[in-house]
Amino acid sequence: MNIYLVGGAVRDRLLGKPVHERDYVVVGATPQQMLALGYRQVGKDFPVFLHPQTQAEYALARTERKTGQGYTGFAIAADPSVTLEQDLMRRDLTINAIAQSDSGELIDPYHGRADLQQRLLRHVSPAFVEDPLRVLRVARFAARFAADGFTVAPETMELMRTIADQGELATLSAERVWRETEKALSSATPAVFWQVLSDAHALTPWFSELQPASIIKLTRHYLSQLDTPDPLIAFCLSLYPLTPERAQQLCERLKVPNSYRQLALKLCRAQLSASSTWNADAAFAYMGQFDLWRQPEQLTNLLKVWQCVEIKEPVLAAFQRSFEAAQKLSAAAVIEAAKAEGQALQGPQIGTALQSARHAKVINEWQLASG
């Protein structure tokens, strides 16, 4: 039995980046041997085990043979005769197909280190075309490593186009597509994800509504405006140019979680920009439109999106100041104020009075913020 560190941990160490997760491949072992050593099996489709102390993943070396359409159409063979080189051959990119032994020796049969130096995302073998999910994975890696100068190798881009043109992307599940998309949106350059998919003819069928040129324009200030990448903000900016109907179609098709969908659709309906009306009355209307009175935690996200679409800082500061001041008003305070004037508010009157008080507060604070 021989154990090797593989995949992203080796790649990131060679790039001088922090290593967050370690995955291992085990050559020359059986499931029974792993269980006898105290490992816990978790893989359903192929033998993956968790280390009894570290909980790191240890997978038996395996080969894959295409048996049907889509990313699930594979026959898995995992037995002690499978070599390390055979296991590495089934991986997507050469930079992910480097292994490291216990002694620190690097095993690199597919020249991943050379591609790391040349900053190329290159497929390992022609079997790349057998798994359509790899189109999304390569686009995600392109977004993740764009700042390091990585690009997709031309021959790999051709294979990605072949997959897309043959309609293989339609065999993917919405859940898998969204999972890769969310990871890409968490990168520092999410627009690269959309551009690579566009270059690969791969926006259809999952993202056919999107317009990469508009997204790139919207996100050109993304890095400078946000301290850390934010997938929610990146998603909202990606959908920002769309009509509400087209944005809704995309969200339904991808089964986008409500935590992303709700804000993105509200922004599409509002279509606010630097040229929109920005005064106290308009700001109060926007606060209601975005349901900030019930979801005040969304204020931060709204301000981030508006900052990225170049709405001026004084406007954003006035909006934030006005909302935060008006939010402090309570129904109890409004009732007491009415009592002092000899009025007894009941039922819907309380809500109406509270909104009137908030409106007045927004007007007052907006004027103060505007000098």
> Could you read off the pLDDT of 168-193 as tens digits, one per residue?
999 999 999 999 999 999 998 888 99
34-79 pLDDT, tens digit per residue, is 999 999 999 776 789 999 999 999 999 998 776 666 555 567 788 8
Check if the beta carbon of residue 252 is closer than 8 Å to that of residue 205.
no
Q: Residue 221 pLDDT more than 70?
A: no
> Alpha helix locations (H) across 200-243?
212-218, 222-225, 231-239
User: How far is 20 from 232, CA to CA, in rounded Å?
Assistant: 22
How large a percentage of the chain has pLDDT more than 90? 74
Q: What is the pLDDT of residue 224?
A: 58
Check if the beta carbon of residue 266 is closer than 8 Å to that of residue 337.
no
Q: Which residues contact 205 (CB under 8 A, 6 or more apart)?
A: 169, 170, 253
**Triad 237, 181, 173: Cα angle to 5°:** 130
Q: What is the pLDDT of residue 307?
A: 87
CA distance from start to end of the chain: 74
The mean-pLDDT minimum among 14-18, 272-276, 334-338 falls in: 334-338
Higher pLDDT, 333 or 80: 80
Tell me 123's DSSP state.
B
Q: To which residue do tokens 């021959």 refer?
A: 155
Tokens of 33: 């041997």
Higher pLDDT, 334 or 270: 270
Domain spanning 132-271: CATH superfamily: cca-adding enzyme, domain 2 (1.10.3090.10)
225-259 pLDDT, tens digit per residue, is 677 889 999 999 999 989 999 999 999 999 999 99
Q: What residue segments make up the domains of the chain, in order of their start? A: 1-121, 132-271, 280-369
* 3-class SS of residue 187: coil
Q: What is the pLDDT of residue 317?
A: 95
Q: What is the pLDDT of residue 222?
A: 63
Residue 308: strand pairing partners = none
φ, ψ of residue 3 in degrees (nearest 5): -120, 135
Nearest of 13, 219, 21 to residue 106 by alpha carbon? 13
Question: To the nearest whole number, what is the mean pLDDT of the chain?
Answer: 91
Q: How many CB atoms sit inside 10 A of residue 256's CB?
A: 22
Specify the CATH number for 1-121; select among 3.40.50.1220, 3.30.460.10, 3.40.50.620, 3.30.2310.20.
3.30.460.10
What global pTM score does this model have?
A: 0.88
φ, ψ of residue 275 in degrees (nearest 5): -90, -5
The mean-pLDDT minimum among 81-90, 205-214, 337-346 falls in: 337-346
Nearest of 95, 73, 77, 100 to residue 87 by alpha carbon? 77
Give the amino acid at 163: I
Tokens of 119: 């900053």
Q: What is the pLDDT of residue 274?
A: 78
